[in-house]
Amino acid sequence: MRDGSLAPTELVEALIERSRRLEPSLRCVITLAADAAVGAARVAESEIARGAWTGPLHGIPIGIKDSIATAGLRTTANSRVLADWVPEEDAPSVATLRQAGAIVLAKLNLNEFAWSIPSEDDLHPPPRNPWSPSHYSMGSSSGSAVAVASGLCPAALGTDAGGSIRQPAANCGVVGLKPTHGLVDSSGALGPPTICEVGPITRSVEDAALMLGALAGGRQSYVESLRKSPGRVRLGIPRGHFELARSEAQISAAFAQALDVMRQLGVEVVDVEIEGLADAAAANFVVLNAEAFAAHEEMLRTRGADYGPSARVYHMQGAFLSAADYIVALKVGAAVRNRVDRAFSAVDALATPVVPVLTAEAARSARAQPHTGGTAIFTAPFNLTGHPALALPCGMSAEGIPIGLQLIGRAGGEADLLRLAYSYEQATPWHGLRPPIDAPAEPGHER
């Protein structure tokens, strides 16, 4: 765009065509804002012609999870409760990206209100994994991950209250970042405020750094710090927590190989013991349930029939929790946060798999998991503690479904976390792979 070889309208129009062609198979788009995006691209073009750059994302089309409010553009949360809601104002995260020059191209699919098990009977049926269209995509920000992995948009926003950015990113072979609690304003995103973050899903660590810089209001250039030497890094593995999760064999093998790459990069890999991480995962969902019920109680009473069966049950669970349950869960979070902070006195980052299972179907039927925290055992603890966590691809299963690595950093330590992730990414081939979907076959049998 800077040298004139690509115009914003060319890019937007190409992505609109691509979305219309692939959407019937992928099902990741709820609303395609074609006319508005083309109009914004024309404005961006005229600004570029006179040298008036508005920010680091000038002319770049992005997708937005459909639980994040967009002014003048329908925001449904994939629920019949909000099927016709058109917000008057952008959520702060969207407003910040627009100020950085981004163009909102599409509102992207999700689990209803980001807290339910998706169903073919939903307002919009669940997205398919572009790497294996017979499988659903994992996690509530599934539409955002599918859209980015499939090349429908260069980047997207998701929300994460227990792993809902990181899990779909890992499942689709892209990068997903949950920022430090409070770094990015998550209001206007219909999430539980104590534990939910708005963050980027991108095809590369560099793009995640670019998006985070914009989301954080330009207070820091995360991109500039990427290519600085990370120096001597100690990477901690919470070994007992990893073993408790009993990950599928291919997940464990990919994680072990990722640690070998880290060692080859000069990273010192050491075991650490952090007591209570699984308890924090379970406590995170106590907070989620309590805050979700508080937000939905009135609508559940007046419009309960408009919720899907799963979303109705999920959002009513908090009715059976006491104030004491909620307070104890927050205390668990504070205790584990202190333990994680103490671990960071000895190591620079932590590493785990992203999820202990390969497929969305396994994740959504994992009631027999032999531990607390379920399939969010690796991701949910860090929602409750508030530490930044990033998922990036680290392997491919025999079934052709991507596998992700999670890196966790100090509170406010996104620059160091992104730098370590970038070093790993550049040493591995995974970020360069693309799903074979340009001539997609019809999805196979339902799973």
Q: What contacts 154, CB < 8 A, 6 or more positions away?
A: 60, 61, 62, 148, 202, 203, 207
Number of H helices, E strands in the chain: 14, 13
Query: Which DSSP state fits 229?
Result: -
Residue 17: DSSP 8-state: H
For residue 388 the two structure tokens come to 């930044």
Model pLDDT for residues 1-36, shown as the tens digit of each residue: 888 899 999 999 999 999 999 999 999 999 999 999
Do you know the residue count of the chain? Answer: 447
pLDDT at 372: 61
Q: Output the pLDDT for position 54.
A: 83
The tokens for 435 are 């799903």
pLDDT for position 371 = 54
* Burial class for 216, CB neighbours closer than 10 Å (0-12, 13-18, 19+): middle
Low-confidence ranges of the chain (pLDDT < 50): 368, 439-447
Within 10 angstroms of residue 330's Cβ, the number of other Cβ atoms is 17
Residue 261, CA atoms < 13 Å, CB-side half-sphere: 22
| Nearest Cα residue to 63 out of 180, 129, 142 | 142
Positions marked active-site: 65, 140, 164
- Three-class SS of residue 306? helix
Bridge-partner residues for 352, per DSSP? 406
17 burial via Cβ count (<10 Å: 0-12, 13-18, 19+): exposed
End-to-end CA distance of the chain: 43
Over 391-423, what HEC string results? EEEEEECCCCCEEEEEEECCCCCHHHHHHHHHH
User: Which residue is listed with tokens 């553009």?
Assistant: 73
Structure confidence at residue 13 (pLDDT): 98
Find, among 122, 119, 205, 110, the residue nearest to 161 by Cα: 110
Question: In the prediction, which pLDDT does 421 show?
Answer: 98
290, 318 Cβ separation under 8 angstroms: yes
Whole-number pLDDT of residue 229 = 81
Query: What pLDDT score does 446 carry?
Result: 34
Residue 379 to residue 360: CA distance in whole angstroms: 15
